[in-house]
Structure 1
Amino acid sequence: MVQGTTSDAGKSTLVAGLARILRRRGLQVAPFKPQNMALNAAVTADGGEIGRAQALQALAAGLAPHTDFNPVLLKPSSDIGAQVIIHGRVVASLSARDYHAYKPTAMAAVMQSWERLCARYDAVLVEGAGSPAEINLRDRDIANMGFAEAADVPVVLVADIDRGGVFAHLVGTLELLSASEQARVRGFIINRFRGDISLLQPGLDWLEARTGRKVFGVLPYLHGLFLDAEDGLGDAVAEGAGAAGALRVVAPVHPRISNHTDLDALRLHPQVDFHWVGPGQAIPPADLIVLAGSKSVQADLAWLRAQGWDEAIARHLRYGGKLIGICGGFQMLGRSLADPLGLEGEAGTAPGLGWLEMETELKPDKQLGTVSGHLDGALGGGAAVVSGYEIHMGVSWGAALQRPALWLESAAGKRADGALSADGQILGTYVHGLFDAPQALSALLAWAGLKDVQPIDLAARREADIERLADALETSCAIDALFDHRLPTQPTLSPLSPP
Structure 2
Amino acid sequence: MEIQKKLRPVMFVGTSSDVGKSVITAGFCRIFKQDGYSPAPFKAQNMSLNSYATPEGLEIGRAQAVQAEAAGIPCHTDMNPVLLKPTNDQTSQVILNGKSIGNQSAKEYFLSNDRTELFEEVKRAWKRLASRYSPIVMEGAGSISELNLKKRDITNMRMAIAAGAATYLITDIDKGGIFASLYGTMALLEPEEKACIKGIIINKFRGDSALFQEGKKIIEGLCGVPVIGIIPYFKDIFIEEEDAVSLRLKRNQPVNGKVNIAVVLLSRMSNFTDFDCLDKDSRVNLYYTHTKQGIAQADIVILPGSKNTIEDLIEIRNNGLADAITKAHQSGKTVIGICGGYQMMGETIKDPLQIESAEGEVAGLGILPVETTLLSEKTTRQCHFTYRNFPENCIGYEIHMGETRIRGAVQPVAFLDEKHTDGYLLSEKCWGSYLHGILDNQVVINDLIAPYTDLKIEYVDYLQFRSAQYDKLAVLLRENLDIDQVYQNIKD
TM-score by length of 1: 0.92
In structure 2, what is the equivalent of residue 449 of structure 1? Answer: 452
Select which of 150, 154, 157 maps to 2:162: 150
Select which of 417, 425, 429 maps to 1:420: 425
In the alignment, the residues of structure 1 paired with residue 409 and residue 124 of structure 2 have an alpha-carbon distance, to the nearest angstrom, of 43
In structure 2, what is the equivalent of residue 462 of structure 1? Answer: 466
CA contact (8 A) 1:480 1:486 kept: no
2:393 paired with 1:385: yes
2:482 paired with 1:478: yes
Q: Deviations over 1:231-258 (max 9, x none)?
A: 2241555325887421110011111100
Select which of 433, 436, 441 maps to 1:437: 441
CA contact (8 A) 1:400 1:419 kept: no
In the alignment, the residues of structure 2 paired with residue 241 and residue 333 of structure 1 have an alpha-carbon distance, to the nearest angstrom, of 24
Letter in 1 for 2:399: I
353 and 237 in structure 1: CA distance in 2 versus 1, 3 angstrom threshold? farther
In structure 1, what is the equivalent of residue 312 of structure 2? Answer: 300
In structure 1, what is the equivalent of residue 172 of structure 2? Answer: 160
Q: Secondary structure at the match of 2:41?
A: strand
Q: Deviations over 1:55-81 (max 9, x none)?
A: 110011110111111000010001111
2:19 paired with 1:19: no
Deviates more, 1:206-215 or 1:448-457: 448-457
In the alignment, the residues of structure 2 paired with residue 167 and residue 483 of structure 1 have an alpha-carbon distance, to the nearest angstrom, of 26
Q: Secondary structure at the match of 1:130?
A: strand
Q: Deviations over 1:297-349 (max 9, x none)?
A: 00000111122111111221222101110000000011111111111232511
125 and 75 in structure 1: CA distance in 2 versus 1, 3 angstrom threshold? same
In structure 1, what is the equivalent of residue 407 of structure 2? Answer: 399
2:103 paired with 1:96: no
In the alignment, the residues of structure 2 paired with residue 18 and residue 157 of structure 1 have an alpha-carbon distance, to the nearest angstrom, of 14
In structure 2, what is the equivalent of residue 496 of structure 1? Answer: none
242 and 220 in structure 1: CA distance in 2 versus 1, 3 angstrom threshold? farther
Q: Secondary structure at the match of 1:42?
A: strand
Q: Secondary structure at the match of 1:22?
A: helix
In the alignment, the residues of structure 1 paired with residue 169 and residue 141 of structure 2 have an alpha-carbon distance, to the nearest angstrom, of 12
Q: Secondary structure at the match of 2:465?
A: helix
In structure 1, what is the equivalent of residue 3 of structure 2? Answer: none
Q: Secondary structure at the match of 2:372?
A: strand
Select which of 352, 360, 364 maps to 2:372: 360
Deviates more, 1:331-340 or 1:177-186: 177-186
Letter in 2 for 1:367: T
Q: Secondary structure at the match of 2:378?
A: strand
Q: Deviations over 1:65-109 (max 9, x none)?
A: 111110000100011111100111111211111112132222121
CA contact (8 A) 2:326 2:365 kept: no
Select which of 362, 368, 378 maps to 1:350: 362
In the alignment, the residues of structure 2 paired with residue 335 and residue 142 of structure 1 have an alpha-carbon distance, to the nearest angstrom, of 43
Deviation of residue 395 (structure 1)? Answer: 0.4
Deviation of residue 400 (structure 1)? Answer: 5.8
Deviation of residue 464 (structure 1)? Answer: 1.5
In the alignment, the residues of structure 2 paired with residue 343 and residue 94 of structure 1 have an alpha-carbon distance, to the nearest angstrom, of 12
Deviation of residue 177 (structure 1)? Answer: 1.8
TM-score by length of 2: 0.93
State the superposition RMSD in angstroms. Answer: 1.9
Q: Secondary structure at the match of 1:109?
A: helix
Identical-residue share of aligned pairs (%): 39
In structure 2, what is the equivalent of residue 493 of structure 1? Answer: none
In the alignment, the residues of structure 2 paired with residue 78 and residue 145 of structure 1 have an alpha-carbon distance, to the nearest angstrom, of 28
In the alignment, the residues of structure 2 paired with residue 28 and residue 175 of structure 1 have an alpha-carbon distance, to the nearest angstrom, of 35
Q: Secondary structure at the match of 1:142?
A: coil
Q: Secondary structure at the match of 2:151?
A: coil
Select which of 188, 197, 213 maps to 1:185: 197
Deviation of residue 282 (structure 1)? Answer: 4.5
CA contact (8 A) 1:374 1:406 kept: yes
Q: Secondary structure at the match of 1:224?
A: coil
Matches within 5 A, 1:29-68: 29-68=39-78
251 and 486 in structure 1: CA distance in 2 versus 1, 3 angstrom threshold? closer
Letter in 2 for 1:36: N
2:86 paired with 1:81: no
Letter in 1 for 2:472: R
In the alignment, the residues of structure 2 paired with residue 162 and residue 171 of structure 1 have an alpha-carbon distance, to the nearest angstrom, of 17
In structure 1, what is the equivalent of residue 8 of structure 2? Answer: none
CA contact (8 A) 1:338 1:350 kept: yes
In the alignment, the residues of structure 2 paired with residue 281 and residue 144 of structure 1 have an alpha-carbon distance, to the nearest angstrom, of 43
Deviation of residue 284 (structure 1)? Answer: 3.7
In the alignment, the residues of structure 2 paired with residue 459 and residue 349 of structure 1 have an alpha-carbon distance, to the nearest angstrom, of 40
Deviation of residue 461 (structure 1)? Answer: 2.3
In structure 2, what is the equivalent of residue 119 of structure 1? Answer: 131
235 and 91 in structure 1: CA distance in 2 versus 1, 3 angstrom threshold? closer
In structure 2, what is the equivalent of residue 8 of structure 1? Answer: 18
Q: Deviations over 1:89-141 (max 9, x none)?
A: 11121111111213222212111111111111121011001111122222211
Deviates more, 1:129-138 or 1:275-284: 275-284
In the alignment, the residues of structure 1 paired with residue 69 and residue 245 of structure 2 have an alpha-carbon distance, to the nearest angstrom, of 22
In structure 2, what is the equivalent of residue 495 of structure 1? Answer: none
CA contact (8 A) 1:282 1:309 kept: no
In the alignment, the residues of structure 1 paired with residue 15 and residue 304 of structure 2 have an alpha-carbon distance, to the nearest angstrom, of 31
Letter in 1 for 2:304: A
In structure 2, what is the equivalent of residue 276 of structure 1? Answer: 288
CA contact (8 A) 2:373 2:403 kept: yes
In the alignment, the residues of structure 1 paired with residue 270 and residue 156 of structure 2 have an alpha-carbon distance, to the nearest angstrom, of 24
Matches within 5 A, 1:364-379: 364-377=376-389
